[in-house]
Amino acid sequence: MNTRTMTRCFLVILFLCSPLQASLAWAQNNPRAVAHEHYEKGLAAFDDERFQEAADEFEAAYRSSPAFAVLYNIGRVNVALGRSVEAVQAFEMYLAQGAAAVPPDRRKEVAAEIERQRARIGAVNIRTVPAFAEVRVDGKLVGKTPLAEPVLVTAGTHTIEALVSGYTPQVRELKVEGLARIELDLRLDPVSGPDAVAKPEKPTAPATAPSAPPPVTPVPTSDREVSSNPMRTWGYVVAVAGLVGGAAGGVVAATGVNAANDAKNRAANAAAPSDSSAYAQASSDFNNAKDQVQLGWTIAGIGGGVLLAGALLVVISPDHKTGAGLSSIVPWVAANSGGVGVSGVW
């Protein structure tokens, strides 16, 4: 076979394959064809009781070609998954979009199922201080406060999260029963408080000066303790240990806050269905960072307590006091226009 004959055969084959390629391209770009493919996969998954896969396929079919009949299957698979809120939403859209096209028997069946599922739904009215906090329920963003209406959830235990930049996130585990209405107020604390320093109040001068105290006999220098006391030494050691522990806890908490903010930003960017794995990873990272923040503050609190204990040991140690280990206190009583006062010298 010469070169010219081979070229002609190739052109004939290319001409015969062109309609098939065009048909395949049309099927891939036709929304109804894509929706039908997803719908068939969803039916097969539902029959095999792979309900989450079926839900994903039915949702994809409805996005490709929003036929109201698909909503009935979306409602059924959400009932199987125990997601009453999503089931009611799908069934109500099915009845509204189908209108007169829905047979009376099917309409009656769907209405009865809606009532059964509504009995398993509770409402949570979520408020936050400060406002404009991102609210997530079971990891799903529902909006920013103030929310226009209560959040509907299926009966059971749910995780409520509130996040605002510059504030410590608040997370609550909330058990909701069917037909319940719950008021939930979340107060978020700033990550770092204002550096307000209280000014000491000036002492108020007495109306009448007290009488002079009786003379105090000084303690001879030879009777005083001049050697270092072990209690004070241990006080310094404990105080230093508490200071180091508190600083370490602060570093751990600050690192956790940065990690939580980073995870929150990544989760907020993972909005498309294809980013579900990215959102799940970001949510897991956020929870880990939240635990790290709590651990850091716990360590800092323990360090503060140890620091306070060391300071107390230093204060109460008997160094540089009288030989008996206590200061000498000499009281006296004086009368003035405001009453009777008790004073002393030590």
Q: Is the pLDDT of residue 337 over 60?
A: no
Of 82-86, 221-225, 256-260, 307-311, give the lowest mean pLDDT range: 221-225
Q: Is the pLDDT of residue 18 over 70?
A: no
- Has residue 295 been placed in a domain? yes
Looking at the fold, whether 37 and 131 belong to one and the same domain comes out as: no
Looking at the fold, whether 146 and 176 belong to one and the same domain comes out as: yes
Last residue of a domain, one of 102, 118, 134: 118
> Which one-letter amino acid corresponds to residue 224?
R
Cα–Cα distance measured from residue 184 to residue 151, given in angstroms and rounded to the nearest whole number: 11
Range of the domain at 265: 225-330
Cα–Cα distance measured from residue 337 to residue 81, given in angstroms and rounded to the nearest whole number: 81
Q: What is the pLDDT of residues 270-293, one digit of tens each?
A: 755 556 777 778 778 888 988 888
**Average of per-residue pLDDT across 231-255:** 83
Looking at residue 259, its pLDDT comes to 86
- Domain CATH number, residue 173: 2.60.40.1120
Looking at the fold, whether 129 and 91 belong to one and the same domain comes out as: no
Question: Cα 342 from chain centroid?
Answer: 55
- Has residue 113 been placed in a domain? yes
pLDDT band at 28 (very low <50, low <70, confident <90, very high): low
**Average of per-residue pLDDT across 246-251:** 86
The more confident residue out of 80 and 310 is: 80
Looking at the fold, whether 296 and 246 belong to one and the same domain comes out as: yes
Cα–Cα distance measured from residue 75 to residue 53, given in angstroms and rounded to the nearest whole number: 14
Q: Is the pLDDT of residue 341 over 70?
A: no
Looking at residue 285, its pLDDT comes to 85
Q: What is the pLDDT of residues 34-50, one digit of tens each?
A: 999 999 999 999 999 99
C-beta of residue 170 within 8 angstroms of C-beta of residue 187: yes
Looking at residue 8, its pLDDT comes to 44
Looking at the fold, whether 266 and 306 belong to one and the same domain comes out as: yes
Looking at residue 1, its pLDDT comes to 53
Report the relative pairing of strands 121-129 and 181-187 from DSSP bridges.
parallel
pTM: 0.50
Domain count, the chain: 3
Question: H-type helices in the chain, by residue range?
Answer: 3-29, 31-47, 51-64, 68-80, 84-98, 104-118, 230-269, 276-316
Looking at the fold, whether 125 and 180 belong to one and the same domain comes out as: yes
- Has residue 345 been placed in a domain? no
Looking at residue 196, its pLDDT comes to 39
Q: What is the pLDDT of residues 49-107, one digit of tens each?
A: 999 999 999 999 999 999 999 999 999 999 999 999 999 999 999 999 999 999 999 99
Looking at residue 271, its pLDDT comes to 56
Looking at the fold, whether 318 and 232 belong to one and the same domain comes out as: yes
- Has residue 204 been placed in a domain? no
Cα–Cα distance measured from residue 242 to residue 235, given in angstroms and rounded to the nearest whole number: 11
The more confident residue out of 324 and 126 is: 126
In the Cβ-directed half-sphere of 174, how many Cα atoms lie within 13 Å?
29
Cα–Cα distance measured from residue 345 to residue 329, given in angstroms and rounded to the nearest whole number: 6
Looking at the fold, whether 260 and 313 belong to one and the same domain comes out as: yes
Cα–Cα distance measured from residue 170 to residue 160, given in angstroms and rounded to the nearest whole number: 8
Question: Which residue from 263, 261, 311 is spatially nearest to 284, judged by alpha carbons?
Answer: 263
Looking at the fold, whether 258 and 271 belong to one and the same domain comes out as: yes
> Which one-letter amino acid corresponds to residue 342?
V
Looking at the fold, whether 58 and 99 belong to one and the same domain comes out as: yes
Q: Is the pLDDT of residue 313 over 50?
A: yes
In the Cβ-directed half-sphere of 72, how many Cα atoms lie within 13 Å?
17
Question: Which range, 118-122, 299-303, 321-325, has the best average confidence (pLDDT)?
Answer: 118-122
Last residue of a domain, one of 118, 138, 153: 118
- Has residue 114 been placed in a domain? yes
Of 66-70, 151-155, 245-249, give the lowest mean pLDDT range: 245-249
Last residue of a domain, one of 98, 118, 138: 118
- Has residue 13 been placed in a domain? no
- Domain CATH number, residue 80: 1.25.40.10
Cα–Cα distance measured from residue 16 to residue 157, given in angstroms and rounded to the nearest whole number: 61
Report the relative pairing of strands 134-137 and 156-163 from DSSP bridges.
antiparallel
- Has residue 152 been placed in a domain? yes
Looking at the fold, whether 274 and 317 belong to one and the same domain comes out as: yes
For residue 186, give every residue at least 6 positions away whose Cβ sits within 8 Å of its Cβ, in sequence order, or none.
126, 127, 128, 129, 133, 160, 162, 170, 172
**Average of per-residue pLDDT across 22-27:** 45
Looking at residue 182, its pLDDT comes to 97
Instruction: Please state, in angstroms and as integers, the Cα–Cα distance from residue 8 to each residue in 5, 18, 309, following that order.
Output: 5, 15, 97
CB burial readout 246-264, b (16+ within 10 A) else e: beebeebbeebbebbbebb
For residue 336, give every residue at least 6 positions away whose Cβ sits within 8 Å of its Cβ, in sequence order, or none.
206, 207, 208, 209, 210
Looking at residue 138, its pLDDT comes to 96
- Has residue 346 been placed in a domain? no
Q: What is the pLDDT of residues 184-232, one digit of tens each?
A: 999 999 998 554 344 444 455 454 444 555 554 444 444 443 345 677 7
C-beta of residue 191 within 8 angstroms of C-beta of residue 164: no
Looking at residue 224, its pLDDT comes to 42
Whether the link from the prior residue into 169 is cis, omega within 30° of 0, is no
Looking at residue 236, its pLDDT comes to 81
Of 182-191, 227-236, 330-339, give the lowest mean pLDDT range: 330-339
Q: What is the pLDDT of residues 98-151, one digit of tens each?
A: 999 999 999 999 999 999 999 999 999 999 999 999 999 999 999 999 999 999
Looking at the fold, whether 128 and 90 belong to one and the same domain comes out as: no
